[in-house]
Amino acid sequence: MSEMKSVVVVGAGQAGATLVQRLRELGYEGALTLIGAEPYLPYQRPPLSKAYLLGDMDLDGLTLRPQSFYDEQQISLKLGSPVTAIDASQQTVTLDGKTIAYDHLVLATGGDAACLAADMGGNLDGIYAIRGIADINRLEPQIVAGRKVLIVGGGYIGLEAAAVCAKRGLDVSLVVASERILRRVAAPQTADYFRALHESHGVRIIEGAQSVHLLGDQDSGKAGHVCHARLGNGMALDFDFAICGIGLIPSIELAEMAGLTLENGIWTDEFSGTSDPHIWAAGDCASFPYRGGRIRLESVGNAIDQAKAVAGNIVASLNGTEKKPYLAKPWFWSDQYDVKFQIAGLNSGYDHVVKREGSDGATSLWYFKGDELLAVDAMNDGRAYMVGKRLIESGKSADQAIIADPDADLKQLMKR
Ligand code: FAD
């Protein structure tokens, strides 16, 4: 690494910030530029729908590293400056009308919150997304005790927003078009657990809506402001504002411009390299090979681990040493009321679930395909999560009778 090189990272989020730090830790001494569209120092997003929205955390708590860290590490941080173009043949990116040359470019551009289509009322005023700090700045003033909110979407973000709004004294309805909450990510038993939890806090959960059509109040002089929903199942609802948590659209515009292969986000190979040998991708925007298929993960754990893998492979490329494949070890968490929900593994392809009821309300669900343990959902059960995670990562199965026996010590599973 003697000759001066340039690494440019587009996207100053969880993956981008991890990547530049890791490059320095690995001894990369060349030019290093981290470019972010948002005007904030790189920050963590999970508290946006949890402690930050609740008012229990401030901006400093969100920030991953202070400005002094980037200064000391000689990382050129360009914030509030979206990259508007990539010229892959010249190996340059453009921002603020200037170009920066790269030897290696990383796309860590995350994604945007999906919205309802305009013909379903998605363009009305009074509909809020939860993806970035700017979204929370817009949403927060709406969260006033006694007001009525409609939350569209029953994934983690919708459920977390429902928990915060309920805790802050709002009248909360949550609606999902599909037959149940958490349909994409968890078994019916986990959905049952969270439905009951929310209903015990007064949240009205409406499943099987089929479709959600938002309408504005044309009569009150607030034309264009959402206040009413007509559901495909015939129900109608009135409310003061809406929060939309219906998923993420990976940011692929730059990748498209660079002519990269796209497949459920930016296609990457097992080393997290894209179809251009000088461009890499990490985090929410990147899909990668996993267990014979291809997945894209939207989680902090993946953003961090994949960014570290890319940093290692950039250094290997510069040094002419061997690159290492990125081996994802999926994990996730969510906080709702007093429940810490932790997930290890990915449940796709499961054929049955084993439930374990521990003490003090600890509950876990273990997903199997035949004898193979795929994933664990643990609600207030840190032990089940830890044991499950280790078993999944080491490719070991687990005795289902021990799991189902509330008196059995889970540690026994590790000895096999
Ligand atoms: P991001 O953190 O989104 O960063 C991407 C950055 O790239 C953004 O700042 C964006 O502005 C920037 N960018 C895009 N285009 C350009 C451009 N052209 N030029 C410059 N910059 C650009 N995960 C968990 O594991 N557990 C949780 O509990 C959890 N809760 C969450 C709650 C919320 C409300 C949200 C929104 C996410 C949550 N996640 C959670 C997911 C997790 O935050 C993401 O998976 C993670 O942030 C992905 O990191 P990333 O770097 O890929 O993307």
Query: Does residue 222 have a pLDDT over 60?
Result: no
Same domain for 266 and 196: no
Residue nearest atom 19 of ligand 1, based on CA coordinates: 82
210: left (phi over 0), alpha (psi -120 to 50) or beta: left
CA distance 402 to 91: 56
Query: Does residue 2 have a pLDDT over 50?
Result: no
- Of 299, 302, 326, 377, the one to substitute when testing ligand 1's pocket (max ligand atoms within 8 A of C-beta) is 299
Q: Which of 244, 265, 281 is where one domain is finished?
A: 244
Same domain for 234 and 133: yes
Average pLDDT over residues 231-253: 97
Average pLDDT over residues 313-327: 97
Same domain for 254 and 233: no
Same domain for 146 and 90: no
pLDDT over 70 percentage in the chain? 98
Q: What is the pLDDT of residues 20-59, one digit of tens each?
A: 999 999 999 999 999 999 999 999 999 999 999 999 999 9
> What pLDDT shows up at residue 393?
92
Whether residue 251 has its Cβ less than 6 Å from ligand 1? yes
Q: How does residue 411 score in pLDDT terms, banded at 50, 70 and 90?
A: confident
Same domain for 119 and 108: no
Same domain for 344 and 314: no
Average pLDDT over residues 250-262: 98
Q: What is the pLDDT of residues 124-183, one digit of tens each?
A: 999 999 999 999 999 999 999 999 999 999 999 999 999 999 999 999 999 999 999 999
**Domain count of the fold of the chain:** 3
Residue 324 lies in a domain: no
Q: How does residue 326 score in pLDDT terms, banded at 50, 70 and 90?
A: very high
- Output the CA 46–ligand 1 centroid distance in Å: 9
- Output the CA 17–ligand 1 centroid distance in Å: 11
Whether residue 130 has its Cβ less than 6 Å from ligand 1? yes
**Minimum mean pLDDT range among 223-232, 284-293, 297-306, 328-337:** 223-232
User: Which CATH number characterizes residue 134's domain?
Assistant: 3.50.50.60
Pick the closest to residue 60 from 79, 41, 78, 39 (CA basis).
41
Same domain for 215 and 124: yes
User: Which CATH number characterizes residue 397's domain?
Assistant: 3.30.390.30
Domain span at residue 379 reads 338-415
CA distance 326 to 304: 11
Whether residue 301 has its Cβ less than 6 Å from ligand 1? yes
Phi, psi angle pair for 83, to nearest 5°: -75, 130
Q: What is the pLDDT of residues 381-402, one digit of tens each?
A: 999 999 999 999 998 888 999 9
Same domain for 362 and 288: no
Residue 331 lies in a domain: no
Average pLDDT over residues 299-303: 98
Residue 326 lies in a domain: no
Whether residue 305 has its Cβ less than 6 Å from ligand 1? no
- Of 14, 102, 136, 308, the one to substitute when testing ligand 1's pocket (max ligand atoms within 8 A of C-beta) is 14
> What pLDDT shows up at residue 156?
96
Residue nearest atom 15 of ligand 1, based on CA coordinates: 109
Question: Which pTM does this prediction carry?
Answer: 0.96
Helix axes 14-25, 300-319, angle to 10 degrees: 40
Q: What is the pLDDT of residues 64-76, one digit of tens each?
A: 999 999 999 999 9
> What pLDDT shows up at residue 272?
98
Same domain for 25 and 131: no
- Output the CA 415–ligand 1 centroid distance in Å: 38
Same domain for 315 and 355: no
- Output the CA 45–ligand 1 centroid distance in Å: 6
Question: Which atom of ligand 1 approaches the CA of 286 most closely?
Answer: 52
Residue 1 lies in a domain: no
> What pLDDT shows up at residue 223?
55
Pick the closest to residue 9 from 153, 109, 148, 126 (CA basis).
109
CA distance 127 to 103: 42
